[in-house]
A and B are shown apart, each in its own frame.
Chain A
């Protein structure tokens, strides 16, 4: 069972892998935004929590698939990384750095525009926790996701 999942994940075509990476990256912010919006409605708290978890599920699945796809090539769990694995890992880390830098710049720019438009920003647990969670979830997962994004399709066995 475990081997079957690994094998299926290993041979996922790049288009599908890229879709999963997009889901993994967009899913959490969408779920947090939905949660923030639903909090101001009269919906039952448990229903809001259930909706949040449903929205979060694709992200968790995509993160899991991304991690399985990397097959220990990012965290060095695989016993033998050859020169191609090492080159790919280096590229994945470089791309992760670029994505992280772009996200931080975009977040800073959006906050700056929001504040200069006469709005005020209250830094409390409601704003700090989602941001902290984003860092905690994505920082370790980004290299695996980027590896899944950049690697070309595996050649058919021969």
Chain B
């Protein structure tokens, strides 16, 4: 893949582990080769918009919860983050 691409960070490995899916199982659901899942997880391949949306649909999450241009914070940190003052 081109070396010049902007890295796209993702939570694919975490989400896959959470749902107990192997790379092969996830790849079969998405209709792609299992190696591609590994390359996406490692950040070596940026999926197309279509594939990113399909992944989001499969996990029933917004696409920006899975893919981001900024490094991802751990999910647990996001879940237990204190809401900003005055929003409770």
Q: Give min CB distance, B76 to chain A, whole Å.
A: 21
What is the interface size of chain B, counting residues whose CB is below 8 A from a CB of the partner? 20
Q: How many interface contacts (CB-CB < 8 Å) are there between A and B?
A: 43
A112 located at the interface, meaning its Cβ lies under 8 Å from any Cβ of chain B in the complex: no
Is A83 in contact with B48, judged by CB distance below 8 angstroms?
yes
Expressed in whole angstroms, the minimum distance between the Cβ of B10 and any Cβ of chain A is: 13
Question: Chain A: interface secondary structure?
Answer: loop
Given the known interface contacts A155-B39, A157-B23, A158-B23, the answer about A80 and B33 at a Cβ–Cβ threshold of 8 Å is: yes
Chain B 27-71 interface mask (CB, 8 Å, partner A; 1/0): 000011101101101101101101100000000000000000000
Compute how far the CA of A158 lies from the CA of B45 in the bound complex, rounded to whole angstroms: 17
Q: How far is the CB of B75 from chain A (nearest CB, A)?
A: 18
Asked whether any CB of chain A lies closer than 8 Å to the CB of B1, the reply is yes
Structural contact, A83 and B39, CB atoms closer than 8 A: no
Interface positions, chain A 87-132, Cβ under 8 Å from B, are 87-88, 91
Indicate the size class of the contact surface on chain A.
Answer: 10 to 19
Per the bound structure, the CA–CA distance linking A155 and B33 in Å amounts to 13
Is there an interface contact between B41 and A155, defined as CB atoms closer than 8 Å?
yes
Question: Closest residue of chain A to B17, judged by CB?
Answer: A158
**B1 to chain A: which residues have CB within 8 Å?**
84, 87-88, 91, 152
Residue contacts A-B, CB under 8 angstroms, 26 given: A80-B31, A82-B36, A83-B32, A83-B36, A83-B48, A83-B50, A84-B32, A84-B33, A84-B36, A84-B39, A84-B45, A85-B36, A87-B1, A88-B1, A91-B1, A152-B44, A154-B35, A155-B35, A155-B39, A155-B41, A155-B44, A156-B38, A157-B23, A157-B38, A158-B22, A158-B23
Nearest 3 pairs of A and B residues by beta carbon:
A155-B38, A82-B32, A84-B36
